[in-house]
Amino acid sequence: MRRSYSLLAAIAVLVGIVLLLTTVGSLAQLYSTVAVVSPLLARLILGVVLLALLVALGVLARYGWLFLRPKRRREITLPKTPDAVAAVSLQAARQQVEQIEDEISRQALAARSDQLSQRLSQQTFQIVVFGLGSTGKTALVNALIGEIAGEVAATIGTTATGASYRIAVSAETIGDKRGDTNRELLILDTPGLLELGSIGEARANEAKMLAAQADLLLFVVDNDLHRAEYEPLQMLMAMGKRSLLVFNKCDRYLPAEKEQILQRLRERTSGLLRGEDVVAIAALPSPVLLDDDSWAQAEPDIAALVSRILAIWNEESKDLIANNLLLQSQKISEEAKVLLNTQRQQQAEKIIERYQWVGAGVLAATPLPVVDMLATAAVNAQMVIEIGKIYGVTVSIEESKALALSLAKTMAGLSLTKGAMKMLAVGLQANLATAVASKLLQGVSAAYLTQIAGKSFVTYFQANQDWGDGGVQAVVEQQYRLNRKDEFVKQFLSNAVERLT
């Protein structure tokens, strides 16, 4: 490549020298001829010509530099902070949602994305209390509200699986040295896992879904971890959930027993949690017998947990909120993509159906080889363009012809035309007289192969214009197998006979 450039440069220099010498000679001859009549006019003409040459050389040099200079890479400004990344992801998800035609699905996903946007702007910190039943989750929620909110009443709401509590917390309480105004804390209490019956299972699944939406998860146990507790904890940690393992009801154990349980919990979660994220509390301590033989309710012992929550809130909350919202926006995007794929596939099937019967009608009316070839090529090429539009891809006429030709060669190489005609001939003769069936066979076969071609193109666009590892042949073979099922062929022949007779 460098030798080619060097040769071109040498030729260009040589040509330039020849032109320069020729130009100088011509100018000298022009000047001599005009100077005989008027030296002043000769100098004026020479000046104008030289000025024009300089301008031309300047323009040539300018555009030559623009053409030859190294192209700068397009600089793309990427979001640098977790908040910015989450905002971009939310915007992308919202754009996908807006393309959904089903109004109910679109509104539901749009409402979820609006809630995420609001959480991002308000920086609401969401804590979800999660665990088996009877571990004291509700008692813990009540103790947290009393400890954190103090005399400020929490706003109580309801969810499908439990209660939610919204608390305005001052920056001083959090320990935020930046002096921000009150920040909002949302605590969700979920029902226990392993509740009996189908209703209990549904509520447990809903609780897991809520836990997956937490910025901070409080996983409550009242003894050593059971397998039923470890598996959901492991699943949530694999999702990147920031979690605290809360050993509740520790007042029921002797100090030595309490330490042993704490040690086992830390050992079992050593690959999942930090040691300081395993905390022992007593959200609702057992009543204490007083000297006068009366019973008194002891104050909750949750100071260690509150201290850990506030430290995480102050140091990590912005990143935790942003990362969680990023995860949630990606889920919305995935759900929107599934709906969009279904929507686009339905639209594509309508296009395929229209083109298969158009081509079939032409071939059934004029079953000539030249018409066969031209009609099939035209139908497939135009069909590619329209399917591409559905998937947001602009396909040129040249590209559509190339795709249609590639697919046609593949189908010919696989002998699909003969196989389809043989299979369809049997079905047509079972429904029509032999003469009529023979006349319609070419048109029906063309429609059938157009169906396979169209679905192959759909697969191509769904994979972002990629035929996959097996290439176009693997896609065509797969569609041919799928469209050879008896139920499909019977329905297809029924429609063909109805439309073409």
Confidence of residue 277 (pLDDT cuts 50, 70, 90): very high
Confidence of residue 276 (pLDDT cuts 50, 70, 90): very high
Give the Cα separation of 61 and 49 in Å (integer).
18
**Which ranges in 69-122 belong to alpha helices (H)?**
82-98, 103-122
Would you kindly state where each structural domain of the chain is located, as residue ranges? 8-68, 123-301, 334-500
Most confident range (mean pLDDT) of 28-42, 137-151, 334-348 is 334-348
Q: What is the value of pTM for the model shown?
A: 0.63
41 or 106: which carries more pLDDT confidence?
A: 106
On whether the CB atoms of residues 246 and 305 are closer than 8 A, the answer is yes
Q: How many contiguous H segments (helices) and E segments (strands) does the chain have?
A: 16, 9
What is the model's pLDDT at position 370? 44
When mean pLDDT is compared across 17-21, 76-80, 114-118, 452-456, the lowest value belongs to 76-80
Taking the C-alpha atoms of 209, 210, 215 and 218 in order, what is their torsion angle to the nearest 10 degrees? Answer: -110
Give the Cα separation of 79 and 88 in Å (integer).
8
Fold of 123-301: Rossmann fold (3.40.50)
Q: Which residue has the tokens 């571990």?
A: 135
- Residues across the chain: 501
**Which ranges in 366-415 belong to alpha helices (H)?**
369-390, 397-413
What is the model's pLDDT at position 154? 46
Confidence of residue 63 (pLDDT cuts 50, 70, 90): very low
Contacts of 482 (CB under 8 A, 6+ apart): 455, 488
pLDDT in tens, 4-37: 545 555 666 666 666 666 766 776 777 677 677 7
Q: Is the pLDDT confidence value at 200 over 80?
A: no
Q: Is the pLDDT confidence value at 180 over 70?
A: no
Q: Is 378 exposed, middle or buried (0-12, 13-18, 19+ CB in 10 A)?
A: middle
What is the model's pLDDT at position 278? 94
270 or 206: which carries more pLDDT confidence?
A: 270
What is the model's pLDDT at position 2? 47
Tokens of 439: 């006349």
Confidence of residue 426 (pLDDT cuts 50, 70, 90): low
What is the model's pLDDT at position 211? 79
- What percent of the chain is modeled with pLDDT above 90? 17
Q: Is the pLDDT confidence value at 458 over 60?
A: yes
